[in-house]
Amino acid sequence: MPLSIAIVGRPNVGKSTLFNRLAGSKRAIIDDTPGVTRDRSIALNRFAGLDLRLIDTAGFEKAPPETLQARMLVQTKAAIEDAEICLFVIDAREGVTQGDEIIAESLRKSGKPVILTANKCEGTAADPGLMEAYALGLGEPIAISAEHSLGFAELVAALSPHSQDNDNHDAEDYEEGNGGTQRTLRLAIVGRPNVGKSSLLNQILGQNRSLVGPEAGITRDAVLAEWQYEGRDILLHDTAGLRKKARVTGRIEQMSIDSTLNAVKFADCVVLVMDATQTLERQDLSIADMSAREGRALIFAVNKWDLIDDRQGTLKILREKVDRLLPQIFGAELVAVSALTGEGIERLMPAVMKADRMWNRRLPTSVLNRFLEDALARHPPPAVRGRRIRIRYITQAKARPPTFMIFGNQLPALPESYLRYLANGLRSKFKLLGTPIRFNTRSSKNPFTNK
């Protein structure tokens, strides 16, 4: 099992920079503005021979009840409770502050092992602060520079006694059918700001994993949550709201959007959350199209369903609009939910698992060519400069998403409309609903070319 580590400290001491270094990727958003991190970010990585489960946290600071800062503090305390060990980060250039002393006292009360790290020690200006750190009573501080990767050998040496010596795999997924173990399902929850993405995540998990509130744009980093559904390992990504490019303001919001796009890129399935009172706005369509172009299976979660009176009529109209405006994911599941009351939540994950099966589906070549024979008989390809395009053979090249290879003559001239015809036929015949379908073509060389 990986060693679970919570990285805690005051705002802007370099927690997210350290998190990214240990995670081996730019998972957390970094900026000089204090308070950028709000939720708990989780990453799995093998660093210097240690299997680590890293938890980045918001800055540890007290605030009046019911404020955003107070809710952030609740998330940080939950991360400490969830971890096996705490990395307490201070800014050595600033020295020990009253805030550091409050955090040190709280960590002592938690009963968790604490490793004290003095960050930003790349110069002599940090020496006085490093000496002050001894007064916190948490043992010898480890001088590091997360930005310049200094002091990490000493940090690993301090972590090693707490890590189990195992030969487990490095946070790798497993392919289906490999010894009966299913691969981890990566599920991204996306949508416009303030449609209830984080509330939906919390309802699915049955706990306040993601920070929520009336303020729009609370989520910045893609929040990762590990979960199991009917024995299947799930990695849930709650993401920042996606607005139109023209409305994006500031570098932090742009980095939040980049984090969301990255979560979609590495997802298997995407749950697009929509506001039931404002469904299928242009931005909803853009997000759905982007997910389809990335090749992800798609499910629509129509949130705030408790506010709808004519439910049957609303769902019927929405079904027609989705299939008409988004033919590339025809038949994607529509699940009406209320993240506030929990209504319909039990129908969401079965829809996700169904979409995942379609996304992973492989079809035998013999069955595909019988389908192709019937499709060609009903509607042959058009002629190009007096010569008819000939399609001889089809096979499935890969799944995730279903991708098919077509063999024949003059296939570069095959119209997009004919490929849509074949895609619609495949969806109807084999129930490939809610997943993109891709085609590659390979034409036979004309032996009389250049003669």
Both tokens of 256, joined, read: 């939040």
pLDDT exceeds 60 at position 33: no
- pLDDT digit string (tens) for 257-284? 777 787 888 889 999 999 999 888 888 9
pLDDT exceeds 70 at position 256: no
pLDDT exceeds 80 at position 415: yes
Cβ atoms 339, 200 nearer than 8 A: yes
Alpha carbon 118 to its chain's center = 31
Percent of the chain that is helix, strand, coil (3-state, to 5): 35, 25, 40
Q: Tell me which CATH homologous superfamily contains domain 365-443.
A: K homology (KH) domain (3.30.300.20)
Distance CA 234, CA 187 (A): 7
Question: Which one is predicted more confidently, 338 or 388?
Answer: 338
pLDDT at 147: 87
Question: Which one is predicted more confidently, 301 or 164?
Answer: 301
pLDDT exceeds 60 at position 213: no
CATH 3.40.50.300 residue ranges of the chain are 3-162, 185-359
* Averaged confidence pLDDT in the chain: 82
CATH 3.30.300.20 residue ranges of the chain are 365-443
pLDDT at 119: 92
Distance CA 45, CA 48 (A): 10
- The arithmetic mean of pLDDT across residues 335-355, rounded, is 94
Please, which pLDDT band fits residue 380 given cuts at 50, 70 and 90?
very high
Fold topology of 3-162: Rossmann fold (3.40.50)
pLDDT exceeds 90 at position 139: no
% of the chain at pLDDT higher than 70: 80
Is domain 185-359 annotated with CATH 2.40.30.10? no
User: Against a cut of 0.75, is the pTM above it?
Assistant: no
% of the chain at pLDDT higher than 90: 40
Over 3-33, what HEC string results? EEEEEEECCCCCHHHHHHHHHCCCCCCCCCC
